[in-house]
Amino acid sequence: MKLQQLPQEFIAALPILEKIEGAGYEAYFVGGSVRDTLLGKPIHDVDIATSAFPKEVKAIFEHTVDTGIKHGTVMILDQGQGYETTTFRTESTYTDFRRPDEVTFVRSLAEDLQRRDFTINALALKSDGEVIDLFDGLKDLTDHRIRAVGKAEERFFEDALRMMRALRFSSQLGFEIEATTLQAIQDNAALLNNIAVERINTEFTKLLLGKNVWYAILELLRTGVHNYLPGLENSDIDLVGLADLLKQEQIDDVTVAWMLLTFELGLTADDAQIFLKSWKHSNELIKVVRSGLRLLNQLRIKDVTDWQLYQVGTAIQATLKVLDLSELPIESTSLQVRYEQLPIKEKQALALNGGDLTKTLALKPGPLFGKVLATLEYKVVMGELANDKPVLLKAATTIIQKDQQGK
Ligand SMILES: Nc1ccn([C@@H]2O[C@H](COP(=O)(O)OP(=O)(O)OP(=O)(O)O)[C@@H](O)[C@H]2O)c(=O)n1
Ligand SMILES: [Mg+2]
């Protein structure tokens, strides 16, 4: 098969392929960008595979960076763009199910493509537009199928993360996982214990954001892969529930995805923190999920007060999206309107600050100081006091007097 028209990103990189070919070697576009071009999707990174050894690549081009020289990857810099160029390789022995003990550079494209994960990812594109398809990847693309190259089990022994990748591609592309590949995932799921959680997180997050997420979650359960994901062992029922909610939906935000997951798992804010830490999520994401979960868990029981709404703060948009995706029969629009109408959205917007308390009321920093500000903040949010300096000063005076009488 020959492509008549190449996307702009490939056209821009053509001089690189041609220069390598001109020096007497082979060079091809490979990986996800070839797959996505054939699917008519936009492409991101352009990967190049070549028969030239790293030293030879570096001799051809003036500007290169050794980004992964041990594995045969050199970045070629061209007109402000960087192109990762990797020498054809086979990865001979694997003892830990993730990294090859040694990489052997080879001159044959076929040997390189043969050790790639799935047939749809094992296509190569030549500079003249010819698609090299040694494993019927084109047919699998047309039939919407994810199939391992050669023996699935061997591919998963080389890198167990590929089992997660199969599930994530099925979610992103809306493809089915072919039966023997699926069986090999089921048989080898425990190998995921060898994989760093950060890598699993990247794939699982992409899975949650895919258009066919409900199918991927059901396949995840069917193969038992969830039993090797942090905190998801034995959460079959919750995950089926999540899949159900997402049948007609696609999540477009990472934080929303993880907030929805923790909500459907029935976690408290504190439990969610432990769960998300075990997935090595950032403190920033954890903070937003915690705030959102507090509100959502309250909404599960009864309506919330303006103060509870206020405390969600900047997590409000993500939280309302999760509410819409969830099974709770509550309209997010009414909460959105209530949030918009709050007298203040943050402490800093209070018409009176610590400086005013010191200057005007001669109050020294201490426990009472904090108590006064917190009380005013609460009363303003709840509409019990206007957010107006004289009003707040008067209220502050009353609180201070009461406190002193109490002593
Ligand atoms: N565990 C892996 C990771 C990658 N690859 C190969 O390396 C290519 C590039 O890998 P990567 O960028 O991680 O994935 P893509 O398939 O390009 O997907 P994406 O569009 O998400 O980048 C893949 O297409 C595949 O041929 C592989 O065989 N096994
Ligand atoms: Mg890629």
**What 3-state DSSP class applies to 105?**
strand
pLDDT on residue 363: 87
Residue whose CA lies nearest to ligand 1 atom number 9: 31
Residue 206 CA: which ligand 1 atom is closest? Answer: 21
pLDDT on residue 135: 98
Q: Is the pLDDT of residue 190 over 90?
A: yes
pLDDT on residue 92: 63
- The span from the CA of 386 to the CA of 394, in Å, is 11
Q: What share of the chain is helix, strand, coil (3-state, %, to 5)?
A: 55, 10, 30
For 287-345, write each residue's pLDDT tens digit: 999 999 999 999 999 999 999 999 999 999 999 999 999 999 999 999 999 999 999 99
Q: Is the pLDDT of residue 91 over 80?
A: no
- The span from the CA of 112 to the CA of 167, in Å, is 23
User: What percentage of the chain exceeds 90 in pLDDT?
Assistant: 90
Contact assessment for residue 245 and residue 327, using Cβ atoms and an 8 Å cutoff: yes
Tokens standing for residue 84 = 């990762």
- Ligand found nearest the CA of 86: 1
CATH class of 1-143: alpha beta
pTM of the model: 0.94
User: What percentage of the chain exceeds 70 in pLDDT?
Assistant: 98
Which of 125, 105, 154 is closest to 9 using CA atoms? Answer: 125
| Cα dist from 26 to 10, 17, 59, 153, whole Å | 16, 8, 15, 30
In CATH, 145-250 is 1.10.110.30: yes
Domain boundaries, the chain: 1-143, 145-250, 252-342, 348-406
**What 3-state DSSP class applies to 176?**
strand
**What 3-state DSSP class applies to 106?**
coil
Where would I find the beta strands (DSSP E) of 64-143? 64-68, 73-78, 81-87, 89-91, 103-105, 124-125, 131-132
- The span from the CA of 39 to the CA of 30, in Å, is 14
Residue 159 CA: which ligand 1 atom is closest? Answer: 1
- The span from the CA of 363 to the CA of 369, in Å, is 7
Contact assessment for residue 225 and residue 192, using Cβ atoms and an 8 Å cutoff: yes
For 10-27, write each residue's pLDDT tens digit: 999 999 999 999 999 999
Chain centre distance of CA 150:
29
Rg (CA), the chain: 28
For 349-386, write each residue's pLDDT tens digit: 999 999 999 999 888 888 899 999 999 999 999 999 99
Over residues 392-399, mean pLDDT: 95
Place 404 in a pLDDT band, splitting at 50, 70 and 90: confident
Binding-site sequence positions for CTP: 32, 35, 116, 159, 162, 165, 168
Phi-psi region of 282 (alpha: psi -120 to 50; beta: other; left: phi over 0): beta
**Residue pointed to by tokens 């090299």:** 132
Dihedral pair phi/psi, residue 76, rounded to 5°:
-95, 125
Residue whose CA lies nearest to ligand 1 atom number 21: 32
Residue 44 CA: which ligand 1 atom is closest? Answer: 20
Contact assessment for residue 320 and residue 344, using Cβ atoms and an 8 Å cutoff: no
Give me the chain's average pLDDT, please: 95
Over residues 165-185, mean pLDDT: 98
For 101-111, write each residue's pLDDT tens digit: 678 999 999 99
For 62-88, write each residue's pLDDT tens digit: 999 999 998 999 999 988 899 999 999
Which residues contact residue 387 at a Cβ distance below 8 angstroms, ignoring those fewer than 6 apart?
Answer: 343, 344, 349, 350, 351, 380
Q: Is the pLDDT of residue 131 over 80?
A: yes
Contact assessment for residue 156 and residue 184, using Cβ atoms and an 8 Å cutoff: yes
Which of the listed residues 46, 109, 116 should we mutate to test ligand 1's pocket, taking the one with most ligand atoms within 8 A of CB? 116
DSSP H helices, 210-353, are 213-223, 236-245, 254-264, 269-278, 283-301, 306-312, 316-325, 332-340
Binding-site sequence positions for ATP: 32, 35, 116, 159, 162, 165, 168
Contact assessment for residue 185 and residue 192, using Cβ atoms and an 8 Å cutoff: no
* Ligand 1 pocket check for 21: Cβ under 6 Å: no
* Ligand 1 pocket check for 158: Cβ under 6 Å: no
CATH topology of domain 348-406: Serum Albumin; Chain A, Domain 1 (1.10.246)
Over residues 211-232, mean pLDDT: 98
71 C-alpha to ligand 1 centroid (Å): 15
Place 139 in a pLDDT band, splitting at 50, 70 and 90: very high
- What is the sign of the dihedral through the CA atoms of 297, 301, 305 and 306? positive
**CA neighbours within 13 Å on the CB side: how many for 251?**
32
pLDDT on residue 406: 80
* Ligand 1 pocket check for 162: Cβ under 6 Å: yes
Q: Is the pLDDT of residue 255 over 70?
A: yes
Residue whose CA lies nearest to ligand 1 atom number 29: 117
- Ligand found nearest the CA of 172: 1
Place 93 in a pLDDT band, splitting at 50, 70 and 90: low
Binding-site sequence positions: 32, 35, 45, 47, 116, 159, 162, 165, 168
Q: The complex's ipTM?
A: 0.99
